[in-house]
Amino acid sequence: MTSALHLATIVRLCTEDFPTEHSRSDAGPGGPGYHIAELATSEEFWEDDGTAREETEEQYEADRDGLSELLTHRWGRPQIFSLASVFDRSMDGEDIPEPWGILSSHVPDVHLWKADGHDRWVALGVSQWDKELPFQLLAVVTEIDPP
């Protein structure tokens, strides 16, 4: 059921207008040319010995992979796109367009499709800002090409 809701959110965002300025919707943050949907958010890990964090990370990656399979049926096999070099380039002072710049700071890689019938990219990734902070399953819908 959750995967069906996540898929419905992604499909809806493929047809919605993008915000004209940075804002937040019921799905998550957005800005000119992109939507970011926060599909799921875990608990924090302040008191964890590492076990719960590791299990949660595995679960979020499995959830991403399951949703990726559903999107594969719709748009074909995804590209696995590493954001590590994008992050390095941003740290070296290069101006990386959003949403890619901010994503590269907390999402190591994404599963990436060009949505048929829409001039938009769809990306799925697992985010974690720091080891104590929650994981998030994110979907990004954007008209901005990956850098």
pLDDT digits (tens, 9 = 90+) for 69-83: 999 999 999 999 999
22 confidence band (pLDDT: 50, 70, 90): confident
Cα–Cα separations (whole angstroms), residue 67 to 24, 51, 124: 23, 24, 8
Cα 93 to Cα 119: distance, rounded to the nearest angstrom: 29
Residue 123 lies in a domain: yes
pLDDT tens readout for residues 97-117: 999 999 999 999 999 999 877
pLDDT of residue 127: 96
Residue-number span of the structural domain to which 113 is assigned: 2-142
Residue 48 lies in a domain: yes
Residue found by looking up tokens 């090409």 in the block: 145
Judged by DSSP in three states, 79 sits in strand
DSSP conformation class of 112:
E
Residue 6 lies in a domain: yes
Mean pLDDT of 88-94: 95
Residue 147 lies in a domain: no
Determine if the pTM surpasses 0.85: yes
Phi-psi region of 98 (alpha: psi -120 to 50; beta: other; left: phi over 0): beta
Phi-psi region of 50 (alpha: psi -120 to 50; beta: other; left: phi over 0): left
Residue 67 lies in a domain: yes
**How many domains is the chain partitioned into structurally?**
1
**What is the Cα Rg of the chain in Å?**
15
1 confidence band (pLDDT: 50, 70, 90): low
129 confidence band (pLDDT: 50, 70, 90): confident
